[in-house]
Amino acid sequence: MKTGLVLLRLTGAALGLQLLLGGFLTFGFISAGAHIVMGFILFILAIATMAAWLVSKPALRPMQVLAVVIVVLLLLQIILGFATLNNGSQAIAFVHFVNALAIFGATISGTFITMRFDRVSSEATTHDVGTIREE
Ligand code: HEM
């Protein structure tokens, strides 16, 4: 669970940077290299995050589903990115942009899911301590 949380935050940070690099690339401030390298780093981080949530106990089902969705969306994003590079299609570039927003939204909802889970589990701990004192 702790590893999953740390990896989720690292993935979020890498995603923020990747969105920035995407903007720089669109406006011609950088060449595609840095954006491509960061894309693969992000993909590896997302796979590690997914693995951590899939094996974490107790299982947090919504987070497991979300982590898989993020990896699938990133795979699609990489395919769309290379398609844009190969044929210069503005339509595919637009889908690449919309998918980036979906990945961003999914990562943000992961943060909220884990925050809610943290609160519920700390409330449960507080309740348990009370029970122990009463005995
Ligand atoms: C690793 C493979 C990737 C390649 C080859 C790639 C390629 C590109 C290209 C060529 C552009 C410029 C499009 C244009 O304006 O004509 C772009 C922009 C962008 N990319 Fe990527 N990309 C990749 C991965 C990603 C990932 C993983 C994300 C984020 C999750 C991302 C987010 C963006 C964003 C936000 C833009 C700016 C908006 C746009 O023009 O679509 N890219 N990318």
C-alpha of residue 119 to centroid of ligand 1, in Å: 36
User: Is the pLDDT at 112 greater than 90, yes or no?
Assistant: yes
Answer for the pair 70, 46: CB distance below 8 angstroms, yes or no.
yes
Domain encompassing residue 117:
2-134
Nearest CA to ligand 1 atom 20: 22
Q: How far apart are CA 68 and CA 7, in angstroms?
A: 14
7-61: pLDDT as tens digits: 999 999 999 999 999 999 999 999 999 999 999 999 999 999 999 999 998 899 9
User: Is the pLDDT at 122 greater than 90, yes or no?
Assistant: no
48-83: pLDDT as tens digits: 999 999 999 889 999 999 999 999 999 999 999 999
Q: How many structural domains is the chain composed of?
A: 1
- For residue 106 and ligand 1, the question of a CB distance below 6 A is answered with no
Q: How far apart are CA 92 and CA 87, in angstroms?
A: 9
Q: How far is CA 40 from CA 34, 79, 96, in A?
A: 10, 12, 15
Q: Which of 61, 51, 53, 66 is nearest to 103 (CA)?
A: 66
- For residue 84 and ligand 1, the question of a CB distance below 6 A is answered with yes
